[in-house]
Structure 1
Amino acid sequence: MKQYTISDITIVAEGLDHPECVALHPDGSLWAGGEAGQIYRIGKNGMAETVVNTGGFTLGIAFSPQGWLAICDLKNKCVWRYDLVSHALSVWSTGTAERSFHTPNFPVFDNAGNLYVSDSGQFRKDNGCIFRVDPKGNTTCWHEGPFRFCNGMALSASQQTLYVVSTWLPGVEAIEIKENGDAGKRQTLVQIPRTCPDGIALDEAGNIFISCYAPNAIYCFTPEGNLLTVIDDWESHTICNPTNIAFGGENRKELYIANLGRWHISKIKMEIAGLRLSGQ
């Protein structure tokens, strides 16, 4: 695994409102969110347009297999459904009758259109959980946790494992998805002391990339069990409080990075293609 330097990073879009999230649409466009509810579409020329505003605080976003965009909103405590054709914005879920969303943080779709949503819970309270919303919008609490601020998530290639970033662990957990869809065995995959992990993305070789809000670094956990440093921006300029990450670009060999601490999206050209997501 190559260790990258600041000179390997390209800024692809600027002038965004402290972007927390980043996602790639099948047409090649880059999407991101702002802290005042903005949803940006960024063309190949790097120009960003605001396509919709939730009036909240955009956390994670993800495209469904059917092509609509799921938006986690911290302020409005919901997941929005944004239709890219009609431009309609509607509430997709607010949790369950017994347990409403507190901090809906990150959405992940499986191939069947089920949406997993991490709810980080209260700050430092270690009471996070994971919801699942079926294709009809029915919501259940899929895993009651408790999680230590569950954050970014990703599915394995087989979609039989859900990887969950737990910021205050700090590290990544793995949860088995049983044949009937229920949550199975939960285990700690890797711990990264003295960091604040936030985002996660997988490549086709099974490497797990973990972006850390602090200390402005991205790590790689290999299938062999090694934890490697991909890049560390100690200056905190080019990579600044990196939150969500996503593969895209030509042959999905570019890793895009949302920099919550600043106003831009950056990218690194990788050697191995990213795992294709259900919405890609």
Structure 2
Amino acid sequence: LKGPNDLVFDKAGNLYFTDHGKTYDRQRDFGGLYYLARGASEAKELDFHYSSPNGVGLSPDEQTVWMADTMTGRMWAFDLESPGVIRPATPFNGGRVVATMPGLQYFDSLAMTAAGNVCVATILNGGITTITPEGQHSHIA
């Protein structure tokens, strides 16, 4: 782990968290999504090789983990088979891109609504972007 960032607990006390990586003068670490089972002493890497994983949240039914990738302005969703186990979505990673913001917009921390929408802090243009599970988005400055 280089730069653990945001975290969310499920109802059973298991922990999902992102590792944002570190930025150096001429390079940047890739980051990932991790899981730490309640009572465990070692985290499990769920998915890796993202530009800048940041905010993380769980859908109200705890069947989907949401992750904001800051530098790309993408919102990722990872469907779970069981706690800490991602259902494979593509040959390249376990997630699916639900939304990508136009222009230069960075995502930061996020929270989930009771209806399952993602509310994510949006840097540069300022404000909160709300994203539905279907990928529709709106912005409040």
TM-score by length of 1: 0.44
Distance verdict in 2 for CA 1:135–1:197, change over 3 Å = same
Gaps of 5+ in 2: 90-94
- 1:157 matches 2:60: yes
Query: Would the aligned equivalents of 1:129 and 1:141 in 2 still touch at CA under 8 Å?
Result: no
Amino acid at match of 2:12: A
- 1:109 matches 2:12: no
- State the match for 2:38 in structure 1: 135
What is the root-mean-square deviation in Å for CA atoms of aligned residues? 1.8
Distance verdict in 2 for CA 1:206–1:126, change over 3 Å = same
- State the match for 1:191 in structure 2: 100
Query: Would the aligned equivalents of 1:142 and 1:182 in 2 still touch at CA under 8 Å?
Result: no
Distance verdict in 2 for CA 1:135–1:167, change over 3 Å = same
Counterparts of residues 250-269 of structure 1 (less than 5 Å): none
The count of aligned residue pairs is 131
User: CA–CA distance in 1 between the matches of 2:47 and 2:114?
Assistant: 30
Amino acid at match of 1:215: N
Runs of 4+ in structure 1 over 6 Å off? none
Q: Helix, strand or coil for the counterpart of 1:165?
A: strand
Distance verdict in 2 for CA 1:131–1:180, change over 3 Å = closer
TM-score by length of 2: 0.82
Structure 1 residue aligned with 2:77, among 174, 177, 186?
174
Structure number with greater Rg is 1
User: CA–CA distance in 2 between the matches of 1:118 and 1:195?
Assistant: 19
Query: Would the aligned equivalents of 2:98 and 2:134 in 1 still touch at CA under 8 Å?
Result: no
- State the match for 1:229 in structure 2: 139
Distance verdict in 2 for CA 1:224–1:176, change over 3 Å = closer
Structure 2 residue aligned with 1:204, among 111, 114, 126?
114
Gaps of 5+ in 1: 1-100, 233-280
Structure 2 residue aligned with 1:122, among 12, 16, 22?
22
User: CA–CA distance in 2 between the matches of 1:159 and 1:148?
Assistant: 25
